[in-house]
Structure 1
Amino acid sequence: MPKRNAIVRFGLVLGAALLAGSIAHAFGETGQTAPQPGVPNAQEELAFFQSNRYTSPEPPAQYVPVIPVGKDFKLVGDNGSLALYMNMETYAIQIKNKATGYVWSSVPDERAMAKEELNDDWKNVMLSPFILEYFDAEDEALATSNYRSLQGKAVAAKPIPNGMEVTYALADLGIRLTVRTALDDQGLSVTLPGDGIEEQGNGRLASIQLYPFLGAVRRADVPGYLFIPDGSGALIRFTDHQTRFDEPYVGQIYGHDMTTTGFGWSNRVSYPVFGIVHGAERNALMGTVEQGQTNAEIVAYPSGVNTNFYWISPRFEIRYAYFQPTSQSMGGINAFTKQRTEGDKQVRYAFLSGKKADYAGMAAAYRASLQARGMLPEASGAAGDGADAGDVPVQIDFLGGDIEPGILSKHVVKLTSFADAQAILEDLQRQGVRRVTAVLKGWNAGGLNGVRPAKPAYAGELGGRSGFEALRNYAQQRQIALHLYTNYTDLLGGSPRTSVRSDAARMVTDRLAEYSYVSKFVNALYKDMKGYLLRPATALRLATDDFASLREDGLTHLTLDGTGFILFSDYGGKQPVNRTEAVGAYGRLADEAAKRSLGLAINEPNDYMLKHAESILNVPMESSQFMYTTDTVPFVQMALHGVVDYYEGYANHQADPSESMLRMIEYGAYPSFILTKEPSWKLQNTPSSELFSTAYEDWAPEIKRLYDKANEALKPVRNAYMIARAVPDYGIVQVRYDNGVDIWINYTGQEYSDGTVRVPARDFAVTGGDRS
C-alpha cells in the first residue's frame, strides 16, 4: 500500500531509460545517427501532443440540436431557472434550462435510438428510470436488469416540493424502491432514501443506477464530451470514429473497501464528481454524489461498449460481493454482505450554460459546491510561515532513518540526522530558496518503516531529543514550517503501542486485515513483512495522545499520510464500523489536530478531508490514460487553486524533469523533493530502496532552479482562482486566473507566437495582471 505509487514512479523512469537504451542500441547496429533524447521530429512531436496525456484544442463550434419537451411530459417542478418535467407513464424526466431553452433528457432522443439496432434489453435499459443488480437470497447468483425488463410498476406517485416521489414495485423480486426527484436552488437532486428500500421476498438489491442515461449521446450526434474524475481529470470526447472497448470506466469513490472486497488494485476516485458537455461553452451538466458516496462508483460508458451511446452515472452499492474462505487451503464460496449499506443515496446535478459550460466551468461549480457545504479550508496559502509570504513554497522531505536487516535483528540506518537537515536548510537559504516547508520522515525511534504507528520519540541515531529541538528552534527562527510525518492507517507488528489482535481491523470474513507491506518488486528482503490496517477507533485514540505530546514539544505542523485517502470498514469488535463512520472518525482525528493548533499537510486527501488540509501533497498531475479517454485536464487543480496550496510528487523521481516542470507550472502546483544527506546506495537494503536518487549534493542546483522557475511563474497567482484554460494548438496551453494573469505553456520544440505573446520552445510566459 504505501509502496504502490513508488513502484509506478520507478517503473516510469526505468521504462524511459530502457526505451532510450533500446533506441540507441538499435541505431548503433545500423550505423544510423540515433535521435537525440527529448528532441523528436515534428511529426513525432505532434503525435505525442495529440495523445490523451495532454489536452487537445477545442474544435470549432458546431450545431447543437435542441429537442423540445416531450408532449407526454408533465411539469412537476420549477425553481425559477430550471423546469422539471416527468412522463407519468414511464417516469422519465426532462429538465429545461429556462434561460437558454435547452432540454436535458433521461432517455435518448427517439431519432438517435432509431439509428441503432438495439435489442429489447438495451432498449429497456435506456427507457428505464433505473438499472439494478440483484440476487436471490437462496443461491446468491448476481443478475443485472432494469425497471422495464422486470415489468416494474409505480404503485405510488406523489408531489413533493418542486418534484415527485415515486415508489416502484418489482413484483418478481419482492422489492420496492422509493425515489425522490426534485429541483432546489442548487439544481436537480435524485435521491433513494435509506428507508426507501423494501425487500419483501427472496430478492436482494446489490446496486442501483438512477436515471443513468441522463444526457446520453449517440456517437457524435451532439458535439461534446464526458468528464470523468480520473487522476487530475480526463475527457472522453464524442466521435463517429468507432472503436470497440471491452469495459467501461469504473472509478471507485474513495477506493474499494479493502476489508470487504480485498486488497486488489482500485481505480480510486477522491472527488465524486462527473459531467457531460453538449457543445463546449453551450450546455453542460455536472453531477456530484453528495450522499452514499462512501459506497458508490462513477461508471462511464464510451461509445463502443455494448452500444454506440456515451453515458455516465453513479452506481450505488447496496450490498458487496466478497469471497468467504471455508478452508485453510483457501477454498470457499462467493457471498454478499447481509446488511444494506448505510444511509441515503443521492446525486445532484448542476446545469451550466454559456462560458461556464465546459470542464473549467464544472471545476468552478464544484469548488462553489464544496465551499457551500463547508468542505474547503477557510484560508488559502497556509502551507507555511515563510518570511516572504508572496514567494511560492518548495517542500523538502528529509528521510531520517529506515530499517535494514542485521546479524541478529533489524537496525536503523542513519540517512539524514537532525543536524544534517538543519545544514541543508541553511544551505538552501544561502542560495536564496526563501520559502521552505520541511517534512521529517523516519524521525522516530525505529525509523520510517520499523514501527507504526510511531511513538513521539526522536531517534537517537539522528540526534535524539536535543538534536530535534535544535532543528525545531532553527526552523522557528527562520520561519520554516517544520512538519513531522505521521500515519494512522498502517499498523506494523511489534509496535509497543498496539496489539495486532486487538488493534488491527477485521475483514468481513473475520480475518485480520493483513497485506504485504513491501512489494517483492521493491525489495525482496521484505517480501514476508506484513502490514495491517489500524482500526479507526485506535487511530483516533493514538492520534489524540500524540497531538498533545507533539504540541508540548513545540510542533505546529504535521504531515498525515495514508489516513487522508485510505478508507475501509472494520468488522471487528461488538460494534463494527462502516465507511461512513470511519469518515467521521478521521474527521475527529483532524479536529484534534486543529484543537492543538497543529496544521495538517495531507497526502492525496479524499474530499471529506479537504477542509482539514493546510496543504495537499502529491496532488494528481495526470490521468490514467485509458484507451477510451481523449484528453487529460487539470480539473482538480482548477477547483482547488487559490483555496489551498498543493504540491506535485517528488521532482527527483520524474522521468522527464523538463516536461514535469512545465506541467507543474501549468497546473499551479509547487515543487517537492525527498532528500538524504547520505548517498542513495545506503537505501538498498531498506524498504525505501525504490528511492533511487536522494542525495542533497546531487540535487541542490536543481532545487534552486526549480524553485526560481516556480516563483517566476506562480508567485503572481499565489492565491488566485484558476478560472479558464485554452489550448490554441497542440502542446500550447493558456491558463487564466481571476486576477487577470495568464500563464502560457509551450511544451513543443518550436517557439510559439500568436502575434501578441511569444513563448520560447519548452518554456513558459506570464502576461497580464498587476505583477509589480
Structure 2
Amino acid sequence: MRARAAIAMLLLVGAAIVGAAIAVPGIGRMPAAKAEETAEPAAETAKPADATERAEVPMQKAVPGAGLTQAAENEYLVLYFDNDSGGIAVKDKATGAVFRSNPPDALEDPKASDETKQELMSQVSLVYHVNGKEGDAAMNSYAQAMKAEQIEWGKLERGMRIRLTMGREEQRMLLPRQMTAASFERDILERIGDERRKRQTQAFYIRYSRDDLKGANGKELLAKYPILEQEDIYVLKSSVTDRDKRVLESYVKETGYTYEMMEEEYAKIGYEGDDAVFPFFKMTIDYELDGRALAVSLNAGEIEYDRETFSLVSLSLLNYFGAGRTGEDGYILLPDGSGTLIRFNNDGRKTTLLTAGKLYGPDYGLAQNPRGSIRQEFRAPVFGIKRGDSALLAVIEEGAAAAEINGVMGDINHSWNTAYATFTIRNKDWFIAENAFEQAPWILYEKNAFEGRIAMRYFFLAEEEADYVGMAKTYRQYLVDAGALRPVEAGEGTPFYLDTIGAVDTMVRKLGLPVNSKAAVTSFAEAGRMIERLTELGVRHIKLRYTGWYNGGYDHTAPYKLKVERSLGGERGLRRLAELAESVGAQLFPDADFVYVSENRAFDGFSPKRDAIRNLFQKTAYRVRLNPASLEYEGYEWVIDPGKMPDYFRRFSAAYDGLGLDAISLSTLGEGLHANYKNNNRVNRPQAERFAASVLAAAAEKYGSVMADYGNAYIYPYADHILRLPDTDSSYAIADEQVPFLQIALSGYVRYAGEPLNLASELRPAVLRAIEYGSGVYFKLNGGDGSLLKDAKLSAEFQGSPFDDWAETAADVYAEIAGALGEARGRTIENHERLAEGVYRTTFGNGRAVIVNYSDQAYLADGIRVEPLDYAVVGP
C-alpha cells in the first residue's frame, strides 16, 4: 500500500468511525467510507455534520480608538485585535513586518467613496437574498457590525475568537403597532420622563375607542380591530416614516419595554403583525497562530439568520488582509493556469478593477457558466500578495470547492491592491425565454446550501522567500506536511507520456445499408507496435494512456459495467499489451471516465433521467464538445451525478481487477466539479469534491499508479502523474507575467506534463517550456486509420496525430528534454527567475540550472551564451 493511499484510507476509516466527514489540511475534506451511499440532505435548520462545538470564552467589546490589543504570541508571530476596525493584525517577529486585515488609514483614502471606505475597513462582506423577492443585497462588517457596536472578542489558547453581528440582531423593531390603551399608557407613556418626547410619541398613534364603533365606519373598525368590543386601543399611524420609527423605538427602549411584553400584547389583542423583518447575520470567526502561519476558520452552517425570510448567497473573508498600497513595489499572485502575477497598479494604466476565477473548473449544473473553455482555470486553492521585502500566501484548507479567488487593482476606486476568496453559499442561475421581449430573467437559488467549514491558512514570508517562488515552495511544504505529497522515487527518469485513442463510431454498409459500427483507430496490437518503435528509438519510461477501450470506445456508456472493445482486440489483446509494455519498461494506463457519459443503451446501468445531473431548472445538464478552432459544437455528454460515482467505481473496478492491471487513468476527475441540483437528490460542489476524492482514494489504494488530468488540488494525494497541467495563464490584459507556480509546488513529488507537444501551435517554444518547467514529454498519437477520426467528427484536440508521422520527432524531442533535465527530473524546482525579456532560468534541487531563451536575440551573461529559441544547461 502506498504511503499516501495508506494515510487516506486511515482517514476514511476514522471518518466512518465518527460518522462524519473530516478535514485533511490543504486538500479539502475527505469523505466518509460509505460516501457512495447518497442520502437526502438534512433540513437546513439542522446542524451540519462538520460543525464543531466551540468552547465558551470570556468576550469583551471593541474599544474604538484603542488601536491594537495583543491577543496571542508564539515563537514567530504576534496576533493583535484591532479595536478600530474589529479586525486583526499579525506581526512577524523576525522582521517586524505587520500584516493588517484592513489598511490602517483606509478612512482617509482620497480615492475611496464613503461606501468603499467601509468595505476597506471590513473583514466580512456578504450577499443575501430576500426570499420571494427580486435582487440581492449586501452587507459588510464595518458598516453593519463595527459601527453598530456589535463586535466582541475573547482570547483563545493560541489566538482569539471574534463574534460579530451584521445588521439588527432583533428581527423586528421594538415599536408596537397596536396596543390596548391601558397598556400603552401604563407601560410606555407613563415611563417616558421627558414631556416633549411623551407628546411626540402619543402624536404618532391614533386612539380608537368603543364609541367609534357607533359611527359610519364602525363595522369596518370592528372587523379590523375586534378588541374594540372590550377595550380602547392605540394604533401606530401608517404615515410614520422609517426615520421617525427609529426615533420612537429609541424612546420605547428607554422605558424598559421588551419584545416579550410586545408579543404578549399582540396575543392579547389578536394582532398577527406585519412588521418588517430586518436582516441580521451572526457569526463567529477563530484566529489562531500555528507556527509561522495564521489559521482562520468559521462554520457557514453556524451563521445565525432568519432562514425563512433570507438566503445567504455568498461570503467574502478578509478582503484586504495584507493589501499593498498603490505606489509600493509588489504584485498579487493568482492561481490562473500555472500561475499569474498582477503587479500593483502604480502607473494607473490598468482599468479593470476585479479579476476572478472559480476554483476547480466549471460546473455544468449551472446554465450560466461564466468561464469559457479556452481560458485557463484556477486549479490550486491559493493566492498571494507581495509587498516590498515581505509577502503573504493564503491557502484555502476547507471550502475550496465553493470558493472563487479575486484579484483587485488599486488606483481605480481606492488605493489598495489585494487578493481574497469569496465563498458561494448558495448558487443561483437564471434563464431568459427565447424571443422574450424586455422580459426579466427567471432566477432560481440553490436549495442545498454549503453549510460546511471555511478554513484558511495565511503564511508570512520575508526577504528571499517573499516572491512567487517562495510562495510555491511554502505551498509545497504545506502539502508535504499534510501528507498530500510523497517524493518521486529515486532513479525515475523523464517520463514519456503517449496518449492514444481506441475505438470510435464509424459508418459502414451492411447489405447496402449504412450502419453505425465501432472501428479501431489504434488497436491494442498497434499500440504495442508504437511502444516497441519508440523503445527502439531510445525512448524510456513510456507511460501509455489508452482512451476509448471499453463500453463502446470513445463514445462510451457509463462505467457501471466493463466490456473491453472487441474491435481493439478484446481482453486478450489488452493483457498482451500490458505484458509487452512491462517487458520494455513501459506502463499501461487504461483511462476510465467516471464523470461523463456519451452513449446510453438499455440495461447499461445509466438512465439520464435518474443518474445524470440536473440544473436548477430541473433540466438535464450536459457538457458540450467545443472545437477550439471553429468554436462549433461537436457533440454533447451527460454528466454523472457525483453521488453515483463511488458505486460506479466499485462495480467497474471489480471487473477491472480481473484484467490484472496495476495502473489506471482517471482523467476527468481532475478537470471540474459539477453539482446536481435535482430536487430529490441534491449534491453541491463541496459534496461533489468529496465523492471525487473518495474514488481517487479507492483507486490509489487498489492500484500501484494513478494518472489524472488538469490538476485540481484535491487529486494531489492520489495522482502519481498529472497530464495537461496548465503551463500558461489566461493572458488577461490585466496580468503582467505567467509563472510556473504549480510546477514549482509539485516538482519532485508528482510527475506532470502540459498539453500534448504535437498539438502545440509551435513545437519549439512548447519544447522549451517543458524544459523550463521541468515537465515530462507528452504526445498524443494514434497508430491506425486517422480517417476514422474525421468520420467520428473529432477535432485535433481529441484525435491526436498519426504516429508514423511523429515517431522520430517525438524520440528526438524526448532525447533533448531528458538530456536537458538530466538527474534534475524528479527533483524539486528551487528557483525560477526572469533574466531578461523572454529569458528564464530554472534551478533544480541538485544545483543544475537551465536557461531558456524564447526571444529572437541571443542572450549572453556570465560567460553563458544562449541562442534564440534555445537553452543552456548550467551545473551538474
Q: Deviations over 1:728-747 (max 9, x none)?
A: 21122111122111111122
Match of 1:311 in 2: 418
Match of 1:92 in 2: 87
Answering whether residue 595 of structure 2 is matched by residue 500 of structure 1, we say no
Q: Specify the SS of the correspondent of 2:592.
A: strand
Match of 2:460 in 1: 351
Partner residue of 1:535 out of 623, 641, 646: 641
Q: Which moved more, 1:459-468 or 1:610-619?
A: 459-468
Partner residue of 1:404 out of 506, 509, 513: 506
Partner residue of 2:495 out of 386, 393, 402: 393
Match of 2:669 in 1: 563
Answering whether residue 768 of structure 2 is matched by residue 662 of structure 1, we say yes
* Separation in structure 2 between the aligned mates of residue 319 and residue 305 of structure 1, nearest angstrom: 30
Match of 1:19 in 2: none
* Separation in structure 2 between the aligned mates of residue 324 and residue 704 of structure 1, nearest angstrom: 51
Answering whether residue 159 of structure 2 is matched by residue 168 of structure 1, we say no
* Separation in structure 2 between the aligned mates of residue 438 and residue 184 of structure 1, nearest angstrom: 43
Answering whether residue 112 of structure 2 is matched by residue 124 of structure 1, we say no
Match of 1:45 in 2: none
TM-score normalised by L of structure 2: 0.74
What is the deviation of 1:79? 1.8
Match of 1:609 in 2: 715
Question: Are the aligned partners of 1:560 and 1:601 in contact in 2 as well (CA < 8 Å)?
Answer: yes
Q: Specify the SS of the correspondent of 2:794.
A: coil
Match of 2:575 in 1: 469
After superposition, residues 313-352 of structure 1 pair within 5 angstroms as: 313-323=420-430, 333-352=442-461
Match of 1:286 in 2: 393
Match of 2:874 in 1: 767
Answering whether residue 369 of structure 2 is matched by residue 273 of structure 1, we say no
What is the deviation of 1:592? 2.5
What is the deviation of 1:92? 2.7
Question: Are the aligned partners of 1:393 and 1:436 in contact in 2 as well (CA < 8 Å)?
Answer: yes
Pair member with larger Rg = 2
**Ranges in structure 2 where 5+ consecutive residues have no aligned partner:** 1-64, 169-277
Match of 2:11 in 1: none
What is the deviation of 1:499? 1.8
Match of 1:641 in 2: 747
What is the deviation of 1:274? 0.3
- Structure 1 residues 545 and 732, CA, compared in 2 at 3 Å: closer, same or farther? same
What is the deviation of 1:725? 1.4
Question: Are the aligned partners of 2:392 and 2:460 in contact in 1 as well (CA < 8 Å)?
Answer: yes
Question: Are the aligned partners of 1:232 and 1:636 in contact in 2 as well (CA < 8 Å)?
Answer: yes
* Separation in structure 1 between the aligned mates of residue 636 and residue 839 of structure 2, nearest angstrom: 47
Match of 1:135 in 2: 129
Q: Specify the SS of the correspondent of 1:259.
A: coil
What is the deviation of 1:331? 8.8
Question: Are the aligned partners of 1:551 and 1:598 in contact in 2 as well (CA < 8 Å)?
Answer: no
Q: Which moved more, 1:181-190 or 1:435-444?
A: 181-190
What is the deviation of 1:723? 1.1
- Structure 1 residues 685 and 758, CA, compared in 2 at 3 Å: closer, same or farther? same
Match of 1:83 in 2: 78
Partner residue of 2:852 out of 721, 745, 766: 745
**Ranges in structure 1 where 5+ consecutive residues have no aligned partner:** 1-69, 383-388
Q: Deviations over 1:392-440 (max 9, x none)?
A: 1111112222113455442223221211111121111111112211111
Match of 2:344 in 1: 238
TM-score normalised by L of structure 1: 0.84
- Structure 1 residues 186 and 547, CA, compared in 2 at 3 Å: closer, same or farther? farther
Answering whether residue 526 of structure 2 is matched by residue 420 of structure 1, we say yes
Partner residue of 2:139 out of 123, 139, 145: 145
* Separation in structure 1 between the aligned mates of residue 279 and residue 109 of structure 2, nearest angstrom: 33
Question: Are the aligned partners of 1:564 and 1:605 in contact in 2 as well (CA < 8 Å)?
Answer: yes
Q: Which moved more, 1:287-296 or 1:689-698?
A: 689-698
Partner residue of 2:408 out of 285, 301, 314: 301
Cα RMSD (Å) of the superposition?
Answer: 2.7
* Separation in structure 2 between the aligned mates of residue 765 and residue 517 of structure 1, nearest angstrom: 40
* Separation in structure 1 between the aligned mates of residue 469 and residue 395 of structure 2, nearest angstrom: 15
After superposition, residues 542-553 of structure 1 pair within 5 angstroms as: 542-553=648-659
Q: Specify the SS of the correspondent of 1:276.
A: strand
- Structure 1 residues 129 and 466, CA, compared in 2 at 3 Å: closer, same or farther? closer
Q: Specify the SS of the correspondent of 1:351.
A: strand
After superposition, residues 211-230 of structure 1 pair within 5 angstroms as: 211-220=318-327, 222-230=328-336
Question: One-letter code of the match for 2:520?
Answer: K
* Separation in structure 1 between the aligned mates of residue 399 and residue 702 of structure 2, nearest angstrom: 31
Q: Deviations over 1:679-732 (max 9, x none)?
A: 544321214233576111110121011100111112221221111112221122
Question: One-letter code of the match for 1:617?
Answer: L
- Structure 1 residues 559 and 547, CA, compared in 2 at 3 Å: closer, same or farther? same
- Structure 1 residues 121 and 508, CA, compared in 2 at 3 Å: closer, same or farther? same
Question: Are the aligned partners of 1:175 and 1:204 in contact in 2 as well (CA < 8 Å)?
Answer: no
- Structure 1 residues 200 and 573, CA, compared in 2 at 3 Å: closer, same or farther? closer
What is the deviation of 1:73? 0.9
What is the deviation of 1:261? 5.6
Partner residue of 1:370 out of 453, 473, 479: 479
| Residue correspondences, number | 687
- Structure 1 residues 109 and 591, CA, compared in 2 at 3 Å: closer, same or farther? closer
What is the deviation of 1:556? 1.4
- Structure 1 residues 337 and 523, CA, compared in 2 at 3 Å: closer, same or farther? closer
* Separation in structure 1 between the aligned mates of residue 337 and residue 498 of structure 2, nearest angstrom: 24
Question: Are the aligned partners of 1:453 and 1:490 in contact in 2 as well (CA < 8 Å)?
Answer: no
- Structure 1 residues 534 and 669, CA, compared in 2 at 3 Å: closer, same or farther? same
Question: One-letter code of the match for 2:648?
Answer: L
Match of 1:734 in 2: 841
What is the deviation of 1:631? 0.6
What is the deviation of 1:146? 1.7
Q: Deviations over 1:493-519 (max 9, x none)?
A: 424232222221233333222343566
